Amino acid sequence: MMKTSWKMLFFIMTMTSTMMVLSSNDMLNMWIGLEISLMSFIPLMYENKNNILTQSSMMYFLIQSMASMMLIIMILMNMFMYINMWMEMMNIIMLTMMMKMGMPPFHMWFPEMMSKMSWKTCIMLMTWQKVAPMYILSLIMNNNKLTMLIMMTSTITGAIMGLNHTSTQKIMAYSSINHMGWMMACASMNSKMWIMYMTMYSLMTIMLGMYMYKYNIMYINQYNTMSMNMTEKMSVMVMMLSMGGLPPFMGFMPKWITIEYMIMSNEFMLLTIMLMSSLITLMYYLRMISSMMLIMSHSQKWMFMNKKEASTNMLYINMLMPMLIIMLNFM
């Protein structure tokens, strides 16, 4: 009971600190919110006491503290030093937010930490812990060459580096890096549209992560031994294709809207590179489900869908959400 109570306390603090950042009007209060989020998330990483979790929590603390230190220095310089360095300061603040989210070139800690944590904390790190830094990033972002370079680097790094791993947690981490590049592109074209992208990305990550947690899947070859029924296998396959951005699933919809904005902004070169990187991302998701598809081909019979199953609901969400977004987009 005591263990559940303190976990709930830190979970509520993590939620509240992010809401504090989203509702703040000045950078100093946002910095305070980020610090509360950092200190309340670290205890949530401890599922059980072992040296690996201690090392990963220390790594997370050092990286986040370094970024926070650079952020508060820039905020204080902006408040007390009357020098014309606004653009330079904004660029440094943007780099600190990238460090907090684990975007290139500050990304090496992110996959390593993901591989050492439980799926529950991995899901939280990939979704909720990215909301506050991404919000600050959307406020200060400019369509300059540095921003374009960051988008390009994130999508390419997330795509290519994911090919080298068999750990599902590391693959999800590099997929998250790729999605962050797309989300930055979305935020640079429309300052509010990234919220829709983040919502859909978080929904897909939570649904897929729940299956990973339920069956304790840490490596690709574990898909061969999963005791899933046909509905669950179909749901996992659809969610992975959705995470890879394959049309007409839910994951393609935010990318489609981002593509429309980039075409209107004449960013054809950047768009081509980002689309090619998405194809590579889709390729390693296809690699993840290929063994599952082979096992399904040897199944003796179809196991009919049970409407009460959570997997059926997830399948419906992935199928019906794109139609809803298309209707809202043309209204």
| Whole-Å CA distances, 234 to 240, 254, 292 | 10, 22, 9
Task: Return phi, psi of residue 24, to 5°.
Answer: -85, 150
| Strand, helix or coil for residue 231 | helix
Task: Give pLDDT, residue 183.
Answer: 93
Task: Give pLDDT, residue 320.
Answer: 58
Contact 200, 252 (CB under 8 A): no
Residue (of 9, 7, 37) closest to 21 by Cα position: 37
Ranges 12-16, 147-151, 273-277, 284-288: which has the least confidence = 284-288
Q: Give the Cα separation of 187 and 180 in Å (integer).
A: 10
Contact 314, 235 (CB under 8 A): yes
Task: Give pLDDT, residue 48.
Answer: 65
What are 63's two structure tokens? 């990286």
Summarised one tens digit per residue, pLDDT across range 164-192 is 888 899 999 999 999 999 999 998 887 77
What are 61's two structure tokens? 């603390």
pTM, two decimal places: 0.88
What's the pLDDT band for 75 if we cut at 50, 70, 90? confident
User: How many other β-carbons are positioned within 10 Å of the β-carbon of residue 195?
Assistant: 18
Summarised one tens digit per residue, pLDDT across range 276-319 is 999 999 988 888 887 676 655 444 444 444 444 555 555 555 55
Residue type, 328: L
Task: Give pLDDT, residue 304.
Answer: 45
Task: Give pLDDT, residue 222.
Answer: 77
Q: Give the Cα separation of 308 and 83 in Å (integer).
A: 63
Percent of the chain with pLDDT over 90: 36
Q: Give the Cα separation of 100 and 254 in Å (integer).
A: 23
| Whole-Å CA distances, 266 to 178, 189, 258, 263, 270 | 21, 11, 12, 5, 9
